[in-house]
Amino acid sequence: MSMTELESANPLLDLTAEQLRAYAAAAMDRARRRSRGLTDAVDDSDLVRQHSRLMSPLVWDLAHIGSQEELWLVRDVGGRPPLRPDIDELYDAFKHARADRPALPLLGPAEARAYVAEVRGKALDVLDTAPMRGQGLTDHGFAFGMITQHEQQHAETMLATHQLRGGEPVLHAPPPPERRCAPLPEEVLVPAGEFLMGTSAEPWALDNERPAHVVDVGAFLLDTTPVTNAAYLEFVESGGYAERRWWSTVGWEHIQQHGITAPRFWRREATGWWRTRFGVTEPVPAHEPVAHVSYHEAAAYAAWAGKRLPTEPEWEKAARFDPATGRSRRFPWGDEDPGPEHANLGQRHLRPAPVGAYPRGSSPLGVHQLIGDVWEWTSSDFGGYPGFSAFPYREYSEVFFGAAHKVLRGGSFGTDAAAVRGTFRNWDYPIRRQIFAGFRCARDA
Ligand SMILES: [Fe+2]
Protein backbone atom coordinates (compact mmCIF):
# COMPACT_ATOMS: atom_id res chain seq x y z
CA MET A 1 0.00 0.00 0.00
CA SER A 2 1.14 3.56 -0.63
CA MET A 3 1.54 6.08 2.19
CA THR A 4 -1.80 7.75 1.39
CA GLU A 5 -3.60 4.42 1.47
CA LEU A 6 -2.12 3.69 4.88
CA GLU A 7 -3.74 6.76 6.36
CA SER A 8 -7.47 6.77 7.00
CA ALA A 9 -9.65 8.99 4.88
CA ASN A 10 -10.47 12.19 6.73
CA PRO A 11 -14.14 13.16 7.09
CA LEU A 12 -13.25 16.89 7.00
CA LEU A 13 -11.97 16.47 3.44
CA ASP A 14 -15.46 15.58 2.20
CA LEU A 15 -17.14 18.73 3.50
CA THR A 16 -18.18 21.52 1.16
CA ALA A 17 -16.81 25.00 1.89
CA GLU A 18 -20.13 25.95 3.45
CA GLN A 19 -20.16 22.85 5.69
CA LEU A 20 -16.56 23.45 6.69
CA ARG A 21 -17.40 27.05 7.68
CA ALA A 22 -20.26 25.79 9.84
CA TYR A 23 -17.94 23.17 11.40
CA ALA A 24 -15.33 25.83 12.16
CA ALA A 25 -17.90 28.28 13.56
CA ALA A 26 -19.32 25.59 15.87
CA ALA A 27 -15.84 24.62 17.08
CA MET A 28 -14.96 28.28 17.73
CA ASP A 29 -18.21 28.79 19.62
CA ARG A 30 -17.59 25.72 21.79
CA ALA A 31 -14.14 27.04 22.66
CA ARG A 32 -15.52 30.45 23.56
CA ARG A 33 -18.22 29.02 25.80
CA ARG A 34 -15.49 27.12 27.62
CA SER A 35 -13.32 30.24 28.07
CA ARG A 36 -16.32 32.17 29.30
CA GLY A 37 -17.32 29.45 31.75
CA LEU A 38 -13.84 29.35 33.26
CA THR A 39 -13.50 33.13 33.56
CA ASP A 40 -17.09 33.90 34.62
CA ALA A 41 -16.80 31.36 37.47
CA VAL A 42 -14.70 33.72 39.58
CA ASP A 43 -14.95 37.42 40.47
CA ASP A 44 -12.78 40.17 39.03
CA SER A 45 -10.24 40.14 41.86
CA ASP A 46 -9.72 36.42 41.27
CA LEU A 47 -9.33 36.98 37.52
CA VAL A 48 -6.44 39.42 37.90
CA ARG A 49 -4.68 37.50 40.68
CA GLN A 50 -1.82 35.13 40.06
CA HIS A 51 -2.79 31.87 41.73
CA SER A 52 0.61 30.27 41.15
CA ARG A 53 3.89 31.49 39.69
CA LEU A 54 3.51 28.63 37.22
CA MET A 55 0.43 30.23 35.70
CA SER A 56 -0.77 33.50 34.20
CA PRO A 57 -3.62 35.45 35.75
CA LEU A 58 -6.81 34.18 34.08
CA VAL A 59 -7.44 37.62 32.60
CA TRP A 60 -4.12 37.36 30.72
CA ASP A 61 -5.16 34.04 29.14
CA LEU A 62 -8.47 35.56 28.08
CA ALA A 63 -7.03 38.59 26.30
CA HIS A 64 -4.17 36.48 24.88
CA ILE A 65 -6.78 34.20 23.26
CA GLY A 66 -8.31 37.30 21.62
CA SER A 67 -4.93 38.67 20.62
CA GLN A 68 -3.93 35.46 18.80
CA GLU A 69 -7.33 35.35 17.09
CA GLU A 70 -6.89 38.95 15.97
CA LEU A 71 -3.38 38.33 14.63
CA TRP A 72 -4.13 35.17 12.66
CA LEU A 73 -7.76 35.44 11.61
CA VAL A 74 -8.57 39.13 11.45
CA ARG A 75 -5.23 40.54 10.28
CA ASP A 76 -3.55 37.64 8.49
CA VAL A 77 -6.38 35.67 6.83
CA GLY A 78 -8.82 38.60 6.69
CA GLY A 79 -6.29 41.27 5.73
CA ARG A 80 -8.12 43.71 8.00
CA PRO A 81 -6.60 46.58 9.96
CA PRO A 82 -5.47 45.88 13.55
CA LEU A 83 -7.93 46.56 16.38
CA ARG A 84 -5.38 46.94 19.15
CA PRO A 85 -1.81 46.96 17.84
CA ASP A 86 -0.83 48.64 21.12
CA ILE A 87 -1.42 45.46 23.14
CA ASP A 88 0.25 42.89 20.84
CA GLU A 89 3.41 42.92 22.89
CA LEU A 90 1.66 42.40 26.26
CA TYR A 91 0.07 39.17 25.07
CA ASP A 92 3.06 37.76 23.25
CA ALA A 93 3.81 34.60 25.27
CA PHE A 94 7.47 34.74 24.22
CA LYS A 95 8.03 38.28 25.51
CA HIS A 96 6.95 37.79 29.11
CA ALA A 97 7.35 34.76 31.38
CA ARG A 98 4.21 33.67 33.21
CA ALA A 99 5.64 34.79 36.56
CA ASP A 100 6.06 38.37 35.24
CA ARG A 101 2.65 38.77 33.62
CA PRO A 102 0.72 40.13 36.66
CA ALA A 103 2.99 43.20 36.71
CA LEU A 104 2.12 44.17 33.10
CA PRO A 105 -0.44 46.90 32.31
CA LEU A 106 -2.96 44.25 31.24
CA LEU A 107 -6.51 44.86 30.08
CA GLY A 108 -8.88 44.60 33.04
CA PRO A 109 -11.65 41.97 33.10
CA ALA A 110 -14.34 44.16 31.47
CA GLU A 111 -11.93 45.44 28.80
CA ALA A 112 -10.62 41.94 28.08
CA ARG A 113 -14.15 40.57 27.67
CA ALA A 114 -15.13 43.41 25.32
CA TYR A 115 -11.93 42.94 23.32
CA VAL A 116 -12.35 39.19 22.76
CA ALA A 117 -16.01 39.70 21.79
CA GLU A 118 -15.10 42.38 19.24
CA VAL A 119 -12.35 40.22 17.76
CA ARG A 120 -14.72 37.26 17.53
CA GLY A 121 -17.27 39.31 15.61
CA LYS A 122 -14.64 40.29 13.06
CA ALA A 123 -13.20 36.76 12.86
CA LEU A 124 -16.66 35.38 12.05
CA ASP A 125 -17.03 38.03 9.31
CA VAL A 126 -13.73 36.83 7.86
CA LEU A 127 -14.91 33.20 8.07
CA ASP A 128 -18.07 34.07 6.11
CA THR A 129 -16.09 34.75 2.95
CA ALA A 130 -12.75 33.01 3.61
CA PRO A 131 -11.73 30.57 0.88
CA MET A 132 -11.69 27.04 2.28
CA ARG A 133 -9.30 25.74 -0.36
CA GLY A 134 -5.83 26.88 -1.20
CA GLN A 135 -2.43 26.94 0.39
CA GLY A 136 -1.27 27.05 3.98
CA LEU A 137 -3.40 29.04 6.39
CA THR A 138 -6.56 28.99 4.32
CA ASP A 139 -6.51 25.35 3.20
CA HIS A 140 -9.56 23.61 4.70
CA GLY A 141 -9.85 26.50 7.15
CA PHE A 142 -6.55 25.59 8.83
CA ALA A 143 -6.17 28.98 10.56
CA PHE A 144 -9.64 28.65 12.10
CA GLY A 145 -8.76 25.15 13.30
CA MET A 146 -5.45 26.36 14.69
CA ILE A 147 -7.08 29.23 16.58
CA THR A 148 -9.80 26.92 17.93
CA GLN A 149 -7.15 24.51 19.20
CA HIS A 150 -5.21 27.39 20.69
CA GLU A 151 -8.24 28.63 22.63
CA GLN A 152 -9.02 25.09 23.82
CA GLN A 153 -5.42 24.62 24.93
CA HIS A 154 -5.72 27.78 26.99
CA ALA A 155 -9.03 26.51 28.37
CA GLU A 156 -7.11 23.51 29.70
CA THR A 157 -4.39 25.78 31.05
CA MET A 158 -7.06 27.89 32.75
CA LEU A 159 -8.54 24.71 34.21
CA ALA A 160 -5.09 23.93 35.65
CA THR A 161 -5.07 27.44 37.15
CA HIS A 162 -8.42 26.64 38.76
CA GLN A 163 -6.89 23.48 40.24
CA LEU A 164 -4.06 25.54 41.76
CA ARG A 165 -6.42 28.23 43.05
CA GLY A 166 -7.35 28.03 46.73
CA GLY A 167 -10.80 28.62 48.19
CA GLU A 168 -14.28 27.26 47.77
CA PRO A 169 -15.20 25.15 44.73
CA VAL A 170 -16.60 27.22 41.85
CA LEU A 171 -16.60 24.64 39.05
CA HIS A 172 -19.19 21.88 38.97
CA ALA A 173 -19.79 18.93 36.65
CA PRO A 174 -21.49 15.54 36.85
CA PRO A 175 -19.29 12.53 37.68
CA PRO A 176 -17.88 10.45 34.81
CA PRO A 177 -19.34 7.01 33.97
CA GLU A 178 -18.43 3.97 36.08
CA ARG A 179 -16.63 0.93 34.70
CA ARG A 180 -18.77 -0.49 31.85
CA CYS A 181 -16.99 -3.72 30.94
CA ALA A 182 -15.67 -6.96 32.44
CA PRO A 183 -12.35 -6.64 34.27
CA LEU A 184 -9.60 -6.05 31.73
CA PRO A 185 -6.37 -7.98 31.21
CA GLU A 186 -3.37 -6.13 32.61
CA GLU A 187 -1.52 -5.88 29.30
CA VAL A 188 -2.04 -6.05 25.55
CA LEU A 189 0.51 -7.41 23.08
CA VAL A 190 1.30 -5.05 20.23
CA PRO A 191 2.91 -7.17 17.50
CA ALA A 192 6.16 -6.17 15.80
CA GLY A 193 6.03 -4.38 12.47
CA GLU A 194 5.75 -1.13 10.58
CA PHE A 195 2.94 1.37 10.94
CA LEU A 196 2.18 4.82 9.62
CA MET A 197 2.96 7.47 12.26
CA GLY A 198 1.93 11.13 12.07
CA THR A 199 -0.34 12.55 9.42
CA SER A 200 -0.37 14.20 6.03
CA ALA A 201 -4.16 13.97 5.65
CA GLU A 202 -5.57 15.66 8.77
CA PRO A 203 -6.42 19.21 7.65
CA TRP A 204 -6.20 20.77 11.11
CA ALA A 205 -3.13 18.83 12.30
CA LEU A 206 -0.31 21.04 13.55
CA ASP A 207 3.18 21.16 12.09
CA ASN A 208 4.71 18.80 14.67
CA GLU A 209 2.27 15.97 13.72
CA ARG A 210 3.43 16.09 10.09
CA PRO A 211 4.34 14.47 7.79
CA ALA A 212 3.08 10.86 7.88
CA HIS A 213 5.99 8.45 7.85
CA VAL A 214 6.51 4.71 8.29
CA VAL A 215 8.05 3.56 11.58
CA ASP A 216 9.11 0.03 12.49
CA VAL A 217 8.22 -0.87 16.07
CA GLY A 218 9.36 -4.04 17.85
CA ALA A 219 6.82 -6.23 19.68
CA PHE A 220 5.91 -4.87 23.11
CA LEU A 221 3.34 -5.21 25.87
CA LEU A 222 1.38 -2.15 26.87
CA ASP A 223 -0.81 -1.67 29.94
CA THR A 224 -4.47 -1.96 28.91
CA THR A 225 -5.34 1.13 30.96
CA PRO A 226 -3.53 4.04 32.55
CA VAL A 227 -1.96 3.27 35.96
CA THR A 228 -4.61 3.72 38.65
CA ASN A 229 -4.41 5.52 41.98
CA ALA A 230 -4.63 2.13 43.75
CA ALA A 231 -1.64 0.78 41.84
CA TYR A 232 0.31 4.00 42.35
CA LEU A 233 -0.49 3.97 46.04
CA GLU A 234 1.27 0.60 46.37
CA PHE A 235 4.42 2.28 45.06
CA VAL A 236 3.99 5.15 47.53
CA GLU A 237 3.25 2.89 50.50
CA SER A 238 6.09 0.50 49.73
CA GLY A 239 8.54 3.38 50.15
CA GLY A 240 9.07 4.01 46.44
CA TYR A 241 9.84 7.70 46.98
CA ALA A 242 12.59 6.82 49.46
CA GLU A 243 14.40 4.26 47.35
CA ARG A 244 17.10 5.74 45.19
CA ARG A 245 17.26 2.75 42.83
CA TRP A 246 13.93 3.48 41.11
CA TRP A 247 14.86 7.02 40.19
CA SER A 248 17.01 8.66 37.54
CA THR A 249 19.74 10.93 38.90
CA VAL A 250 17.85 14.06 37.87
CA GLY A 251 14.54 12.70 39.15
CA TRP A 252 16.03 11.72 42.51
CA GLU A 253 17.66 15.15 42.98
CA HIS A 254 14.40 16.83 42.10
CA ILE A 255 12.22 14.95 44.60
CA GLN A 256 14.86 15.39 47.34
CA GLN A 257 15.16 19.10 46.73
CA HIS A 258 11.40 19.68 46.70
CA GLY A 259 10.40 17.15 49.34
CA ILE A 260 8.10 15.29 46.93
CA THR A 261 6.65 12.09 48.46
CA ALA A 262 3.32 11.60 46.64
CA PRO A 263 1.38 12.97 43.64
CA ARG A 264 0.62 16.67 43.79
CA PHE A 265 -2.67 17.51 45.58
CA TRP A 266 -2.51 14.27 47.65
CA ARG A 267 -2.34 14.39 51.45
CA ARG A 268 -1.94 11.62 54.00
CA GLU A 269 -4.36 11.76 56.94
CA ALA A 270 -4.94 9.36 59.82
CA THR A 271 -7.93 8.11 57.79
CA GLY A 272 -5.92 7.39 54.64
CA TRP A 273 -4.99 9.31 51.53
CA TRP A 274 -7.04 12.32 50.42
CA ARG A 275 -6.79 14.51 47.36
CA THR A 276 -8.03 17.96 46.52
CA ARG A 277 -9.71 18.54 43.17
CA PHE A 278 -11.02 21.99 42.23
CA GLY A 279 -11.56 22.88 45.87
CA VAL A 280 -13.14 19.55 46.90
CA THR A 281 -11.17 17.26 49.21
CA GLU A 282 -12.09 13.59 48.95
CA PRO A 283 -10.55 10.15 49.52
CA VAL A 284 -8.21 9.19 46.66
CA PRO A 285 -10.46 7.13 44.33
CA ALA A 286 -8.86 3.73 43.79
CA HIS A 287 -9.86 3.01 40.20
CA GLU A 288 -9.20 6.41 38.66
CA PRO A 289 -6.01 6.92 36.65
CA VAL A 290 -3.37 8.63 38.75
CA ALA A 291 -2.85 12.29 37.81
CA HIS A 292 -0.54 15.15 38.74
CA VAL A 293 2.63 13.08 38.61
CA SER A 294 5.78 14.29 36.85
CA TYR A 295 7.65 12.38 34.17
CA HIS A 296 10.22 11.49 36.84
CA GLU A 297 7.56 9.97 39.08
CA ALA A 298 6.03 8.05 36.16
CA ALA A 299 9.43 6.64 35.16
CA ALA A 300 10.25 5.68 38.79
CA TYR A 301 6.93 3.86 39.18
CA ALA A 302 7.54 2.00 35.92
CA ALA A 303 11.00 0.90 37.10
CA TRP A 304 9.54 -0.26 40.43
CA ALA A 305 6.87 -2.25 38.53
CA GLY A 306 9.57 -3.94 36.40
CA LYS A 307 8.44 -2.03 33.32
CA ARG A 308 9.20 1.21 31.48
CA LEU A 309 7.30 4.06 29.88
CA PRO A 310 6.25 3.54 26.25
CA THR A 311 8.07 5.43 23.53
CA GLU A 312 6.03 7.86 21.48
CA PRO A 313 5.88 5.54 18.40
CA GLU A 314 4.77 2.67 20.66
CA TRP A 315 1.98 4.80 22.12
CA GLU A 316 0.79 5.95 18.71
CA LYS A 317 0.90 2.47 17.22
CA ALA A 318 -1.22 1.12 20.07
CA ALA A 319 -3.68 3.99 19.53
CA ARG A 320 -3.97 3.97 15.73
CA PHE A 321 -2.78 0.77 14.12
CA ASP A 322 -5.51 -1.51 12.78
CA PRO A 323 -4.03 -4.99 12.18
CA ALA A 324 -7.03 -5.98 10.02
CA THR A 325 -6.34 -3.31 7.38
CA GLY A 326 -2.75 -2.23 8.11
CA ARG A 327 -4.02 1.35 8.24
CA SER A 328 -3.62 4.02 10.89
CA ARG A 329 -6.88 5.41 12.23
CA ARG A 330 -7.53 8.98 13.36
CA PHE A 331 -8.59 7.71 16.79
CA PRO A 332 -8.42 4.34 18.59
CA TRP A 333 -12.11 3.64 17.83
CA GLY A 334 -12.04 4.72 14.18
CA ASP A 335 -12.15 7.89 12.13
CA GLU A 336 -15.13 9.74 13.57
CA ASP A 337 -14.65 12.70 15.91
CA PRO A 338 -14.81 11.84 19.63
CA GLY A 339 -18.28 11.52 21.16
CA PRO A 340 -19.22 11.20 24.84
CA GLU A 341 -19.32 7.40 24.41
CA HIS A 342 -15.68 7.25 23.28
CA ALA A 343 -13.66 9.26 25.74
CA ASN A 344 -13.67 11.54 28.76
CA LEU A 345 -12.86 14.85 27.09
CA GLY A 346 -14.04 18.45 27.05
CA GLN A 347 -14.37 19.21 30.77
CA ARG A 348 -17.72 17.39 30.77
CA HIS A 349 -16.54 15.68 33.96
CA LEU A 350 -13.99 17.41 36.11
CA ARG A 351 -11.98 14.28 36.84
CA PRO A 352 -10.58 11.19 35.12
CA ALA A 353 -13.05 8.30 34.74
CA PRO A 354 -12.34 4.94 36.38
CA VAL A 355 -10.57 2.40 34.19
CA GLY A 356 -13.01 0.43 32.04
CA ALA A 357 -15.42 3.36 31.70
CA TYR A 358 -15.00 3.70 27.91
CA PRO A 359 -15.07 0.27 26.23
CA ARG A 360 -16.37 1.88 23.02
CA GLY A 361 -13.25 4.00 22.82
CA SER A 362 -10.79 1.10 22.86
CA SER A 363 -8.34 0.46 20.04
CA PRO A 364 -8.47 -2.53 17.63
CA LEU A 365 -5.81 -4.23 19.77
CA GLY A 366 -7.93 -3.70 22.90
CA VAL A 367 -6.12 -0.84 24.61
CA HIS A 368 -8.46 1.39 26.65
CA GLN A 369 -8.66 5.10 27.46
CA LEU A 370 -5.77 6.22 25.30
CA ILE A 371 -7.74 9.38 24.51
CA GLY A 372 -9.06 11.51 27.38
CA ASP A 373 -8.89 11.10 31.19
CA VAL A 374 -5.18 11.93 31.64
CA TRP A 375 -2.33 12.96 29.35
CA GLU A 376 0.19 10.13 29.24
CA TRP A 377 3.92 10.68 29.63
CA THR A 378 6.06 8.90 27.05
CA SER A 379 9.80 8.29 27.28
CA SER A 380 10.44 10.27 24.09
CA ASP A 381 11.98 13.72 23.79
CA PHE A 382 10.02 16.20 21.70
CA GLY A 383 11.40 16.48 18.16
CA GLY A 384 10.47 16.93 14.51
CA TYR A 385 9.47 14.02 12.29
CA PRO A 386 11.55 13.26 9.18
CA GLY A 387 10.63 15.99 6.68
CA PHE A 388 9.36 18.38 9.40
CA SER A 389 8.72 21.90 8.27
CA ALA A 390 7.74 24.67 10.70
CA PHE A 391 4.28 26.11 10.04
CA PRO A 392 3.01 28.74 10.43
CA TYR A 393 5.89 29.94 12.62
CA ARG A 394 8.91 28.38 14.36
CA GLU A 395 7.64 29.31 17.81
CA TYR A 396 4.66 27.01 17.40
CA SER A 397 6.73 23.85 18.04
CA GLU A 398 10.23 23.91 16.66
CA VAL A 399 11.80 26.10 19.32
CA PHE A 400 10.75 23.46 21.91
CA PHE A 401 12.45 20.54 20.17
CA GLY A 402 15.18 18.85 22.18
CA ALA A 403 15.88 16.87 25.34
CA ALA A 404 14.37 19.49 27.68
CA HIS A 405 10.79 18.42 26.88
CA LYS A 406 9.10 15.02 27.07
CA VAL A 407 6.13 14.15 24.85
CA LEU A 408 2.69 13.54 26.34
CA ARG A 409 -0.11 11.89 24.40
CA GLY A 410 -3.86 11.39 24.35
CA GLY A 411 -5.39 14.43 26.07
CA SER A 412 -7.10 14.64 29.45
CA PHE A 413 -10.60 15.24 30.79
CA GLY A 414 -9.69 18.92 30.49
CA THR A 415 -8.85 18.71 26.76
CA ASP A 416 -11.47 19.42 24.12
CA ALA A 417 -12.02 17.00 21.23
CA ALA A 418 -10.79 19.74 18.87
CA ALA A 419 -7.38 19.74 20.56
CA VAL A 420 -6.53 16.03 20.59
CA ARG A 421 -6.37 13.11 18.13
CA GLY A 422 -4.33 9.97 17.58
CA THR A 423 -1.47 12.01 16.15
CA PHE A 424 -1.64 14.96 18.55
CA ARG A 425 1.58 15.72 20.47
CA ASN A 426 1.86 17.68 23.69
CA TRP A 427 5.16 18.39 25.43
CA ASP A 428 6.33 19.65 28.78
CA TYR A 429 9.21 19.72 31.23
CA PRO A 430 9.73 16.38 32.99
CA ILE A 431 9.22 18.04 36.41
CA ARG A 432 5.70 19.34 35.63
CA ARG A 433 2.91 18.21 37.98
CA GLN A 434 0.12 20.78 37.70
CA ILE A 435 -0.94 19.46 34.30
CA PHE A 436 -3.54 16.69 34.10
CA ALA A 437 -0.98 14.00 33.35
CA GLY A 438 -0.64 10.36 34.30
CA PHE A 439 0.87 7.43 32.39
CA ARG A 440 0.75 3.77 31.51
CA CYS A 441 3.64 1.32 31.39
CA ALA A 442 5.13 -0.87 28.67
CA ARG A 443 7.69 -3.64 28.46
CA ASP A 444 9.47 -5.54 25.71
CA ALA A 445 7.67 -8.67 24.54
FE1 LIG B 1 -1.02 30.79 23.67
Query: pLDDT, tens digit, for every residue of 366-408?
Result: 999 999 999 999 999 999 999 999 999 999 999 999 999 999 9
Tell me the CA–centroid distance for residue 65 and ligand 1, in Å. Answer: 7
- Looking at the DSSP bridge assignments, the partners of residue 228 are 289
Cβ-Cβ contacts under 8 Å for 40 (sequence gap 6 or more)? none
Distance 152 CA to ligand 1 centre (A): 10
pLDDT for 28 equals 98
Q: Distances in Å between the alpha carbon of 259 and those of 232, 266, 268, 293, 295?
A: 18, 13, 14, 14, 16
Residue 150 is assigned to a ligand binding site: yes
Residue 377's nearest CA partner among 276, 263, 287, 271 is: 263
The H or E element spanning position 65 is: helix 58-69
Distance 58 CA to ligand 1 centre (A): 12
Which amino acid, one-letter code, is at 194?
Answer: E
Residue 179 neighbours by CB under 8 Å, 6+ apart = 287, 354, 355, 356, 357
266-269 sheet: strands from edge to edge: 266-269, 272-277, 280-283
Enumerate the CATH 3.90.1580.10 domain ranges in the chain, comma separated.
179-445
Q: Is 61 marked as a binding-site residue?
A: no
Q: Is 419 annotated as a binding residue?
A: no
Query: Can you give the pLDDT at residue 11?
Result: 84
Measured over all CA atoms, what is the biggest interatomic distance in the chain, rounded to whole angstroms?
63
CA–centroid distance, residue 285 to ligand 1 (Å): 33
| CATH 3.40.50.1100, domain 179-445, yes or no | no
Q: Tell whether residue 432 is among the known ligand binding residues.
A: yes
Residue 279 buriedness (CB in 10 A; 0-12 / 13-18 / 19+): middle
Give pLDDT tens digits for 267-291.
999 999 999 999 999 999 999 999 9
Domain 3-164 falls under CATH 2.60.40.10: no
**Do the beta carbons of residue 190 and residue 217 sit within 8 Å?**
yes
What distance in angstroms lies between residue 87's CA and the mean position of ligand 1's atoms?
A: 15
The rounded Å distance from CA 64 to ligand 1 centre is 7
Ligand 1 center from residue 90 Cα (angstroms) = 12
Characterize 176-202 residue by residue with b for buried, 16 or more Cβ atoms within 10 angstroms of its Cβ, and e for exposed: beeeeeeebeebbebeeeebbbbbebb
Average pLDDT for 186-206: 97
The whole-number pLDDT of residue 2 equals: 73
Q: Is 444 among the annotated ligand-binding positions?
A: no
Q: pLDDT value at position 101?
A: 87
Helix, strand, coil shares, percent, the chain, to 5: 40, 15, 45
Q: Is 75 annotated as a binding residue?
A: no
**C-beta pairs of 276-284 under 8 Å, 24+ apart in sequence:** 277/163, 277/350, 277/351, 278/162, 278/163, 278/169, 278/170, 278/171, 278/350, 279/165, 279/166, 279/167, 279/168, 279/169, 279/170, 279/171, 280/169, 284/229, 284/233
Whole-number Å distance, alpha carbon 147 to ligand 1 midpoint, is 9
Share of residues in the chain with pLDDT > 70 (%): 100
Per-residue pLDDT band for 200 (boundaries 50, 70, 90) equals very high
How many Å lie between the centroid of ligand 1 and the Cα of residue 93? Answer: 6
Q: How far is the CA of 272 from the centre of ligand 1 (A)?
A: 39
Question: Which pairs count as long-range contacts for 324-329, CB under 8 Å and 24+ apart, including other chains?
Answer: 324/364, 326/1, 326/6, 327/1, 327/5, 327/6, 327/7, 327/8, 327/196, 328/6, 328/7, 328/8, 328/195, 328/196, 328/197, 328/212, 328/422, 329/8, 329/364, 329/422
pLDDT at 166: 87
Q: Where in the chain is the domain with CATH 1.20.120.450?
A: 3-164
State the average pLDDT for the chain: 96
Q: What does the alpha-carbon distance between residue 12 and residue 351 come to, in Å, rounded to a whole number?
A: 30
Q: What is the pTM (predicted TM-score) of this model?
A: 0.97
154 annotated as belonging to a binding site for a ligand: yes
Q: Rounded to the nearest whole angstrom, what is the distance from the C-alpha of residue 220 to the centroid of ligand 1?
A: 36
Confidence category of residue 355, pLDDT binned at 50, 70, 90: very high
Q: Is 166 helix (H, G, I), strand (E, B) or coil?
A: coil
